[in-house]
Structures are given as structure tokens and as C-alpha cells.
Structure 1
Amino acid sequence: MTRQHPPMTTLTPSDAHALVSAALTWAGHTAAEAGIIADHLLDCELRGLSFGGLARALSVVERIRAAPEPPGPIRVVAETAVSATLDGGDQAGYLVGMRALDLAVDKARAHGIAAVGARDTWYTGMFSYYLEKAADAGLAGMIAGSGPAVVAPHGGTEGRFGTNPIAFGFPSTPAPVIRGIGTASVMYGEVLLKARLGAELAPGRAYDATGAPTLDPAAAPEGAFGVWGGHKGSGPAIVVQLLGMMAGAAPDPPGVRDRGFLVVLVDPGVLTDPEDYRRRVAAFADAVRATRPAEGGGAVRVPFDRSAACRDEALRRGTIEASGAVVEAMRREAGRVTHAGGTAHG
């Protein structure tokens, strides 16, 4: 049977931001907190990364409602001049991640290097989002994140580590060079979105609870996702789990909780002339782009080029295309604010 693509809805970025903010406010976030999360999700949507965009707001709302108790405050539980450890208080990772990034930026600016970790959080989003901000501050960096055991190591069919993204960012002019990858063959947000839309996973991406290959996104979380890159991806995935655990996150946290988050930032100025470094990064990136393409292939790209160009085009156009089913669900959530006597944006 041929599956029909869900209808799409056209939104302006401001309308999309307002929908997300209203839904998150109804779920218990302050207006400021909702705005921080909405900024992150809208950036993903603008960059064409829809599984981390508007649909993720619905997952955030569902996760908040499923929690047995309200979240606590985000606390610094250990700190030195160049490091800090955060207890996220079971807050959404978009908030915890920004707190960790802000701390790391301040420390790296003051001392040249910083390492900040966080635990007891969930849904930290696209690491390239944080690293773009770090690069704008003139800092190079790495972010790694661990999670619940939903991904099987190469050769296995049982989950032993998280989808475990890792990303690197480098300041440059006019745009940074950022590379982020998920070490799973499919990211958790993509599985959730496909389940929400009634779509199938691509073959070879997941196993059900019996260890049999599955295309069903609802069955995959009960079994395991495949690892990216076979045995070559399985090793880095294990390394990322260990990095995320450095802030105290559990090696196998239950459900959607206690994801580890580690950000390390370096000021190039402690090693070399920072402006010269930015110029050299830009020249190197241009040299990569100028590589002679393989026969029949397109122009060679540098990581982050495609999604940044997608964002630029969406902003120039002034609209984004989002799943109609997701937008309708968002509007229902946003409508709760108005019905409860609050103020919905837009």
C-alpha cells in the first residue's frame, strides 16, 4: 500500500514561534522559558530539520504531562574557574543546555577554556544550535550527549546506549563551520515524528522487542534503533555515552530522562591569533567547497552549509512548510491558553 504524505501548512516564522510559545506556556513554562525553547525549535524548522522543530514541542508537552512530579530548579552542584556541573532538575534540555552554554561561554572568555556538564535533563535538541552561538562569541567547541539505552551496538539487537549526538563548531568569517552527527541510524525525534504522522521507518534502522527488524516507529522504542556506520559508528557512540556520563548521568536511565550533556569550549586566542584563525578556517572551508566534484556529482559542501542555506531561504521567503497534523495539534494546545483565560500569542 502506498502511504500518502500528510498535507502541509504554510506558516510565517513569527506565527510558528507563537504557536510553540503558547503551547509550552500552557504546559507550565514561563513566557521566558517558552521563548527559549521556541527559539531553538524554530531554528530547527527553518533549517529543514523538522523532526527537531515544531513537532518536538508536542513531545515536550507530552513529557511534562507524563512526569510524576513537577521539575525542580536548575542548580550548579559543582564549580571551578573553568568548569561546572549542573543538576537539571528534570527540566527540558533546551533550558538546561542554554544554561550550560552560557556558563561555558563566560568561563571560556575569562580563562580560555571551559567544560560544563549537566545531568537530570531530557530533549537537549540540536547541538549545532548551541555551537553556532559559541562560534558567534569567537569560541570553538564540542558538545556530546548521552541518553537512555535505545540504540543497539553493532552486531546486536538490544539497546545499550542513547542516540548520542556529538557536534563540533569553529568560528569563521562570514559563517562558522559546524559538524554535528547522531551516532544512531535514526534519531529519537525522527522516530517520534514518524509515529505521530503514521509513517514508516526506512529499512534497516530499527528492531522490535523480539530483535526482528521493523519499520514500525511505535515498535522501535520497545526494541532498539540501529547504530550509525556499523562497527565504525558503534565505537564513537560508546565514547559519547561515556562523555555524557561525566556529569553524573546514569549509564542506562529509564524512559525519557537523565540525559547527559557535556560542552567544552576553547578560545582560539589562547593558542593563536584569533582573527587569523578565523581567516584560516574560512580559507580552508572555501578550499573544501572548491574540491573538484566526482563525475555526475554536485558541488562539494562544508558541514552546516545546507541547513544554513535552507534557513536563509526560509527567512527570505518569510514562510515555512510544516506538517498540517502537527500544526493542528499545536493549535489545539495553544487554544488551551485562551480558553483558560491566558493570552495566546499571534
Structure 2
Amino acid sequence: MTQESAATTTLTLRDARALITAAMTQVRHSPAEAEIIADHLLDCELRGLSFGGLARALSVVERIRATPAPPGPIRAVAETAVSATLDGGDHVGYLVGMRALDLAMDKARAQGVAVVGARNTWYTGMFSYYLEKAAQAGFAGMIAGSGPAMVAPHGGSEGRFGTNPIAFGFPSTPAPIIWDIGTAAVMYGEVILKARLGVDLEPGQAYDSTGASTLDPAAALEGAFGVWGGHKGSGLAMVVQLLGMMTGAAADPPGVSDCGLFVLLVDPGTLTDAENYRRRVAAFADSIRATRPVEDGGAVRVPFDRSVACREEMLRRGTIEVPEAVVAGLRHEAGLPAAGEATEHG
């Protein structure tokens, strides 16, 4: 293992999107489904979260190829005017998450509040991706997600929680205020990518199957990840797991499966003047940014500021850097020739 960065390939945004969609259509996704997945993964890349970008596309393909049975329909198994529970049919979570979000926004428009749960899905992605869309539509919201037990509680070295992301979003201008974290010391996608590239984890992030600390991502995948935030983060991880389980998801599903997705949206207009609230959120965020920094510190930021700035810079640049091994793997899975390789008619 090494701490060195892996060699990368420069892709235009158009080529990156095309590569994802080509790989997704090779594993039973329709062009429309492939585009939904590609948009989510490319947004991860634009925001500097490469483990959730093209590398995740390769993991999606590998998971589908390892699952003989095709997914079933995404369907509502319970529904009221303000709520619904979806069975994801074992579809990848980017598709299930968008279905849950659209349903929640429809109900929140009609009733002012909505709660939608989804189960029997996997790889639900960045919750901030969904909350940005909700906030742009005027909603405040929270999303929490449970998953397979791979994170040890504080003081332990065996997995009991998922990596359990939780996020909150609020409408504001020019961009929404979104706080999106995972409750693990390292996210599953990061560990998978480092294992793929032969790169070490950071000290204190994981344990092997015997409970000993490890830097080896492959050993961590057989053991457990550490929890984020000590006993406070461990408590939050437990709460998120319980919210995910409220959808009917298992406490400890096998492998990469049955993640729980809990979506809560609120129209601020049910409680106050919605436009006035949006302006007050923006003013409050500006007051945080204007906070006097500590000595020798940089400017104070608000959550999601970094993502917005990074995405704007990437869009100006028009290219992203992707590990060569990931690009080669995706081209193979998409049935494309290796980079630089001539086709039969080339």
C-alpha cells in the first residue's frame, strides 16, 4: 500500500458524462435512468468528491453484475396525503432517491409538509444533491440514511452502524444553505476507491477483523470503520440508523443492500412568510461569513460554500481528473476500447 496519489486522466465534462451513461446502459438501465445516475455522479466530481463520482459508477456496475436477479419496480407500499413508503425494488439509490424526492415535493406543495421513506435500495449518493433541488423549489428539509453495519460505535471495534449520512437544507440566495455529513470517520466510497487504487487509509479511520487499527482499506472492509465525532457522533449515527430503519430497512442488511432513506420536507410558508424567511436565511449566513476569524485563520465559511465554489471552478475549467484505473475499468464495462486503442475500423 502507498500514500501516493494514483495517476489520473483528464476528461472533459461531456466525455465523463458519456462514459457514465455508456456504462449504465450496459447494465440494464434505460437512457433516462442512465442520465439521472450520470447527473448525480458528475455533480460529485464537480464538487471535488471523486469517490462518489466516476469511481462510484464502476462500483454500481460491479454490484449489478454480481446480482443475477434484475431489479423489480419502484413502488409505493404505503401512502397518505403527507407520507409514503417506497420499496426500491433493489434499484440503485440514485433512481430511488429521485423518486422519493419528487414524491415528497409533490406532497409538500399540496400539504405543506411531507415525509417519504424508501427501502430495498443501495448507493443513495449525496443527500445534498437532493436537498439542493428541494431548496431551489422553496423547501427546507432533512434526509437521513441507514445502511449495512460497517461502522463501530464509540469505544468499539465491530460494525453496528452504516456510514449513515444526514443532511439538512434551507432555501436561500444565491445558493441554499446545506449541511451534509457522514457519521463515519471515512465514507464507504472512499475506502472502496483507496482499495481499488492501492492507497492507504488515514490513521485512526478503521479496524481490521481482529479489532486492531489498520491503514489497509481491504482489511477495513473486512473489519469496521471508526465513527466520526466521538461519543456525540456515535449517538448521531445511532439516531440516523433508527430513522433509516423507520422505512422498514433492516438494521444490518447483508452486503451492499437495503439502505433506508428518510426524507422530510417542509414548506416554510406553512409557518411564516416564505420569501421573508429566505431573505433572513441569506442574511444570517452572511453574518456567519462576516465573523472575525481566529488569528492566522482564513475567512469563515458556511456549509455548502466550498461545494459551490468548487463546482463553479470545475465548470469554468470544463475538465475533471479521474484515476486512470477508474477510467480504464469503466471503458471496459461500457464495451469501449481502452484509451488510445484503435478500433477495428480506426
What is the CA-CA distance between 1:12 and the residue it aligns to?
A: 1.3
Q: Map 1:46-85; keep pairs closer than 5 Å.
A: 46-85=46-85
Matched-pair contact (CA < 8 Å) for 2:206–2:225: yes
Question: Any idea what the Cα deviations from partners look like across 1:181-222, whole Å, max 9, x if unmatched?
Answer: 100000000000101111010000000111111111111121
In structure 2, the partner of 1:187 is 187
How well do the aligned residues superpose, as a CA RMSD in angstroms?
A: 1.3
- Structure 2: how far apart are the matches of 1:83 and 1:277? 25
> Do residues 16 (structure 1) and 55 (structure 2) align?
no
Greater Cα offset, 60-69 or 238-247: 60-69
In structure 1, the partner of 2:326 is 326
> Do residues 94 (structure 1) and 103 (structure 2) align?
no
- Structure 1: how far apart are the matches of 2:5 and 2:259? 33
Q: Map 1:48-197; keep pairs closer than 5 Å.
A: 48-197=48-197
In structure 1, the partner of 2:343 is none
What is the CA-CA distance between 1:331 and the residue it aligns to?
A: 1.7
Matched-pair contact (CA < 8 Å) for 1:71–1:90: yes
What is the CA-CA distance between 1:320 and the residue it aligns to?
A: 1.3
What is the CA-CA distance between 1:161 and the residue it aligns to?
A: 1.1
What is the CA-CA distance between 1:2 and the residue it aligns to?
A: 5.8
- Structure 1: how far apart are the matches of 2:175 and 2:264? 20
Matched-pair contact (CA < 8 Å) for 1:26–1:336: no
Matched-pair contact (CA < 8 Å) for 2:120–2:260: yes
Structure 1 residue ranges, 4+ long, deviating more than 6 angstroms after superposition: none
Q: Cα gap change, 1:238/1:289 in structure 2, threshold over 3 Å: closer, same or farther? A: same
Secondary structure in 2 matching 1:261: strand
What is the CA-CA distance between 1:337 and the residue it aligns to?
A: 10
Matched-pair contact (CA < 8 Å) for 1:23–1:337: no
- Structure 2: how far apart are the matches of 1:223 and 1:318? 39
What is the CA-CA distance between 1:336 and the residue it aligns to?
A: 5.0
Count of aligned positions: 338
In structure 1, the partner of 2:224 is 224
Matched-pair contact (CA < 8 Å) for 1:75–1:89: yes
Secondary structure in 2 matching 1:335: coil
- Structure 2: how far apart are the matches of 1:102 and 1:83? 12
> Do residues 34 (structure 1) and 34 (structure 2) align?
yes
What is the CA-CA distance between 1:128 and the residue it aligns to?
A: 0.2
In structure 2, the partner of 1:281 is 281
Q: Cα gap change, 1:337/1:132 in structure 2, threshold over 3 Å: closer, same or farther? A: farther
- Structure 2: how far apart are the matches of 1:256 and 1:274? 40
In structure 1, the partner of 2:341 is none
Question: Any idea what the Cα deviations from partners look like across 1:251-302, whole Å, max 9, x if unmatched?
Answer: 1111100000000000000011111001000000000000001001100000
In structure 2, the partner of 1:344 is none
> Do residues 311 (structure 1) and 311 (structure 2) align?
yes
Q: Cα gap change, 1:337/1:21 in structure 2, threshold over 3 Å: closer, same or farther? A: farther
In structure 2, the partner of 1:343 is none
Question: Any idea what the Cα deviations from partners look like across 1:113-170, whole Å, max 9, x if unmatched?
Answer: 0000000000000000000000010000000000011000000000011000000000
Normalising by the residue count of structure 2, what TM-score does the alignment of the two structures yield? 0.96
In structure 1, the partner of 2:238 is 238
> Do residues 213 (structure 1) and 223 (structure 2) align?
no
- Structure 2: how far apart are the matches of 1:247 and 1:172? 29
Amino acid at match of 1:253: P
Secondary structure in 2 matching 1:254: coil
Secondary structure in 2 matching 1:260: strand
Matched-pair contact (CA < 8 Å) for 2:96–2:121: yes
Amino acid at match of 1:26: Q
Greater Cα offset, 48-57 or 63-72: 63-72
Amino acid at match of 1:286: D
Normalising by the residue count of structure 1, what TM-score does the alignment of the two structures yield? 0.96
- Structure 2: how far apart are the matches of 1:96 and 1:166? 17
- Structure 1: how far apart are the matches of 2:211 and 2:77? 40
Q: Cα gap change, 1:257/1:54 in structure 2, threshold over 3 Å: closer, same or farther? A: same
Amino acid at match of 2:221: P
Q: Cα gap change, 1:2/1:73 in structure 2, threshold over 3 Å: closer, same or farther? A: closer
Amino acid at match of 1:134: A
Q: Cα gap change, 1:304/1:200 in structure 2, threshold over 3 Å: closer, same or farther? A: same
- Structure 2: how far apart are the matches of 1:8 and 1:333? 18
Secondary structure in 1 matching 2:322: strand
What is the CA-CA distance between 1:329 and the residue it aligns to?
A: 1.5
> Do residues 251 (structure 1) and 251 (structure 2) align?
yes
Amino acid at match of 1:58: L
- Structure 2: how far apart are the matches of 1:235 and 1:52? 25
Secondary structure in 2 matching 1:218: helix
- Structure 1: how far apart are the matches of 2:51 and 2:256? 17
Amino acid at match of 2:100: A
What is the CA-CA distance between 1:90 and the residue it aligns to?
A: 0.5
What is the CA-CA distance between 1:335 and the residue it aligns to?
A: 2.6
